[in-house]
Amino acid sequence: MGANTRMVNPNLEGGPGAQKEGCVISEAARLCGLSVHQIRTYLDMRLVYACGTTQGGSRLFDDGCLQRLALIRSCREAGLGLPEIAEFIQALDNGDKGQCRAVERQIQHTIAVKRAALNRCTQALTKAAHGVKLSALKGP
10 burial level (CB within 10 Å; 0-12, 13-18, 19+): middle
Domain ranges across the chain: 1-77, 80-131
**Could you give the CA distance from residue 72 to residue 107 in angstroms, rounded to a whole number?**
13
- What is the sign of the dihedral through the CA atoms of 47, 48, 49 and 50? negative
- C-alpha 16 chain-centroid distance: 32
pTM of structure: 0.68
DSSP classification of residue 45: T
pLDDT band at residue 99, thresholds of 50, 70 and 90? Answer: confident
The candidate with the shortest Cα–Cα distance to 88, out of 77, 73, 69, 75, is: 75
**CATH code for the part of the protein at 1-77:** 1.10.1660.10
For residue 9, pLDDT beyond 70: no
Asked if 87 and 45 count as a contact pair (C-beta separation under 8 A), the reply is: no
Q: Determine what percent of the chain is predicted with pLDDT higher than 70.
A: 79
